[in-house]
Chains A and B, each alone.
Chain A
């Protein structure tokens, strides 16, 4: 594989984590414009752990997931009282607050004569674990997709379980779920924390792929795209968000047919799909048809 293909595939894998986290929240009936904040929390926590304290990446990624879950839990506590558009706006405000916090953090250590660590708007350089441990781009690609595969297996297992049924019920009819004995608020809080952890894992991997992060990486554009990927790909299966990422990064950007006009095409595509297929390309009907056609037979 050439460098370009490896780069595109790695980016598709990385951005899929945040798209899946947005998808998880949509299943629970909530739209978040703020998953980029938890992606950023994961990136900063894992970056500090490996670059400043020499902690191995797997441990740092676990720490990032914990921090992402905790941050999402804290954001979810007050915001889950809100509904629909108000919740979406509250998550966006929370993500912007996190981004401003990243701009204010100046926390560095001198390592080998160089200051390493978050330096406000100047960003955080020297997240070099991948290079210092001789991981080649192909190896990192395998790591990213291996973890993504694990996450997908988890999603598919949950979707086939009682937990998955409860998740969709809470998302589609919370009153019915409440009547059937589900503690909806507590359940949603758990989903928000899990989605935060997932976004943070993506952030941790992104920071180590890029070796540099800055607050601007985690602004609203990333949040809007992650939501759009879930909505384009479809809400019928966890493969939906992946399909959304593939359509944008893989086909529109990867083929470079539209060059600088890609964002316009992407915006138009989102608008058309929201009108004609409001639950995305792989919606529940299509997934049901595919299952009946290929799995049952």
Chain B
């Protein structure tokens, strides 16, 4: 109990250590089933493809945060270095904030905004420019 309390205090009071950020890109195509997309994710860190990450992919709707709990799926390694593949089962068409959660040696979370429609997914443009990854 005391150990847990000390551990919690240490965690809560620790100051952040900034690390090199991971960048991500998404390419999705629709499947025969409505709202299900086959997605390829490309991860890079410091300009180099990031392979070997334990990647979980989820999604949330920015206009109604916390209310849509898309079941996160574990991504499989893709064909090229830094590539991963995952099948996303969304609830509806529209803008989704795709959450890429990295575990293992690199711990991080990326949020990628894409508009999902019948043709696939396009990066969201806001104020005349795509949202930064």
From 52 to 99 in chain B, residues with beta carbon under 8 angstroms from any chain A beta carbon are 56, 58, 60, 62-69, 71-72, 91-92, 97, 99
8 Å CB contact of A249 from B16, B21, B67? B67
Q: Is A248 interfacial (CB 8 A cutoff)?
A: yes
Give Cα distance in the complex from A8 to B63, angstroms: 18
B20 to A: closest C-beta gap in Å? 7
Q: Is A107 interfacial (CB 8 A cutoff)?
A: no
Which A residues are in CB contact (< 8 Å) with B131? 122-123
Check if A122 sits within 8 Å of B132, measured CB to CB: yes
Give Cα distance in the complex from A132 to B108, angstroms: 8
Q: Is A150 interfacial (CB 8 A cutoff)?
A: no
Type the 1/0 row for B1-44, where 1 means its CB is closer than 8 Å to any CB of A: 00000000001111111111100000000000001000000000
From 229 to 276 in chain A, residues with beta carbon under 8 angstroms from any chain B beta carbon are 248-249, 253-254, 259-260, 262
Q: Is A58 interfacial (CB 8 A cutoff)?
A: yes
Which B residues are in CB contact (< 8 Å) with A58? 12-13
Q: Is A134 interfacial (CB 8 A cutoff)?
A: yes
Chain B residues touching A, majority SS: loop
Question: Count the A-B residue pairs with Cβ separation under 8 angstroms: how many?
Answer: 101
Q: Interface size (B, Cβ < 8 Å)?
A: 39
Check if A114 sits within 8 Å of B21, measured CB to CB: yes
Q: Is A222 interfacial (CB 8 A cutoff)?
A: yes
Given the known interface contacts A14-B66, A111-B18, the answer about A212 and B127 at a Cβ–Cβ threshold of 8 Å is: no
Q: Is A210 interfacial (CB 8 A cutoff)?
A: yes
Count class of interface residues, chain A: 35 or more
Which B residues are in CB contact (< 8 Å) with A217? 62-63, 65
Interface residues of A (CB under 8 A from B): 3-4, 7-8, 11, 14-15, 50, 54, 56-58, 111-112, 114, 119-123, 125-126, 128-129, 131-135, 139, 206, 210-212, 214, 216-217, 219, 221-222, 225, 248-249, 253-254, 259-260, 262
17 A-B pairs besides A15-B67, A211-B109, A216-B63 with CB distance below 8 A are A3-B72, A4-B72, A14-B66, A57-B12, A112-B19, A128-B108, A132-B16, A132-B19, A133-B14, A135-B11, A206-B66, A210-B60, A212-B97, A212-B111, A221-B63, A248-B67, A254-B69
In the A-B complex, the 6 residue pairs with the closest CB atoms: A132-B16, A212-B111, A11-B66, A112-B18, A3-B72, A260-B92
Please list 26 pairs of residues, one from A and one from B, whose beta carbons are closer than 8 Å in the complex, sorted by A's number: A3-B72, A4-B69, A4-B71, A7-B69, A11-B69, A14-B66, A56-B13, A56-B15, A57-B12, A111-B18, A112-B19, A112-B21, A114-B21, A122-B126, A122-B132, A128-B16, A128-B108, A128-B109, A139-B11, A206-B66, A210-B60, A210-B111, A217-B65, A225-B67, A249-B69, A253-B67
